[in-house]
Structure 1
Amino acid sequence: MNAPRTVVTDLPTRIRRAEPSDVGALALTGAATFLESFAGILDGRDIVEHCRLQHAPSVYADWLADDAVAAWLAETVSPPAPVGYAVIAPPKLPLDDLSETDLELKRIYLLSRFHGGGVGRELMNHAIAESRARGARRLLLGVYSGNARALAFYARNGFVKVGERRFQVGGNIYDDDVLALDLRA
């Protein structure tokens, strides 16, 4: 069960396209939000190892250098500080009906104190609009099946379960749901 979270809605935020100079901010925000979301749920050593590998600055540098990938950074306005981000890319999910026209929401992360203020929805809007502009048939994602808050957020945004996958975090394997949003509707 997730603990109650404090929502901060009085800090103005902006969302902009991520740039190569944002690599450090993306990596730090990714690791911070992963730790914040899963501390006490997943093994701590697994979280640290996952963040070391999957939230390394080189991961974000590679994504930002790839024209097939799009990323947005959410930050407070004054003073500017990163609070979340979203990344879409070609999909790497275990689905039998995966198409060249599908895209994957690789990550949509937001510090919990900004949950409930509309920033997550705006990040999602950017990802959906870009996916539609690229002619995507579906926007797909994988999410830990025990993350009730994230599952509810995705359901509110029209995503439905279309499959499952096993996801490695550190030395352990966890169950993920694979969700899809039909962009043709």
Structure 2
Amino acid sequence: MEIRKVNIGDIEKLKKIGKQTFAETFSFENSEDNMNEYLEKGFSTKKLTTELTDQNAAFYFAEYDGNVIGYLKVNFGQSQTEIKDENALEIERIYVLKDFHGKEVGQLLYQKAIDLAKERSVKYIWLGVWEQNPRAIRFYEKNGFVVFDKHIFKLGNDEQTDIMMKLELKKNNNS
């Protein structure tokens, strides 16, 4: 398995993996109309182009056998969705195809985010996770994240609650 940075030439692959993993993860708990609206807006070529060319955001693919099986999106500085802290990194997305759940793909993408945070010497990593996604909440808790707040995420016309979680990074050479 390989983790590699996504570039603008990968936009169609990013659109495909983004839509597929989001739908696999959330379509059962949401209306078809709300899902379709979010998938079209959230993964449009225009929006992804803007995100891919943002100096304070980065995407990484997890690839296996030449196929994209998951991806990571991180944000720094003013590109963070809520907390605009120069000393923080936001994990906006870690998504993995259902067929690869439980196969350490998410953990490898998560480790990439940790490595990026250490390279930038940020003090903490934060993220938002839907309160109805216990699998993701357990994943982050297992990795040392703690709940610090909540915020509203709109999926179509449905207001949903995201739990905001944070991981303080240790400041020593062995961390």
What is the TM-score normalised by the length of structure 2?
A: 0.90
Structure-to-structure mapping, 1:98-113, within 5 angstroms: 99-113=85-99
* Structure 1 letter corresponding to 2:131: S
**1:74 aligns to 2:83 (yes or no):** no
Give the alignment partner of residue 154 of structure 2, picking from 137, 145, 168: 168
Mapped to 2, the partners of 1:71 and 1:183 lie a distance apart of 21
Q: Percent identity?
A: 30
Higher relative contact order (CA 8 A, sep 6+): 1
Report the alpha carbon displacement of residue 184 of structure 1 after superposing the two structures with TM. 2.7
* 1:55-66 paired onto structure 2 within 5 Å: 55-66=43-54
Show the counterpart of 2:81.
92
| Residue of structure 1 equivalent to 2:20 | 32
Q: Structure 2: how far apart are the matches of 1:74 and 1:35?
A: 18
List, as ranges, runs of 4+ consecutive aligned residues in structure 1 with deviation greater than 3 Å. none
Which deviations, in whole Å up to 9, do the C-alpha atoms of 1:46-98 show, x marking residues without a partner? 11111111112322222221221122101222xx22111001113222x6xx6
Aligned residue identity for 2:162: D
Structure 2 residue runs of 5 or longer lacking an equivalent are none
2:5 is equivalent to residue 17 of structure 1: yes
The within-5 A match list for 1:119-134 is 119-134=105-120
The amino acid that maps onto 1:177 is: I
**Unaligned 5+ residue runs, structure 1?**
1-12
Shift of 1:136: 1.3
1:19-48 superposed Cα distances (whole Å, 9 cap, x missing partner): 111111111111111111112211121111
Aligned residues: 168
The alpha carbon displacement at 1:164 in A equals 0.1
Q: CA RMSD in A?
A: 1.4
Hey, what does 1:8 align to over in structure 2? none
Alignment correspondent of 2:103:
117
TM-score normalized with structure 1 length: 0.85
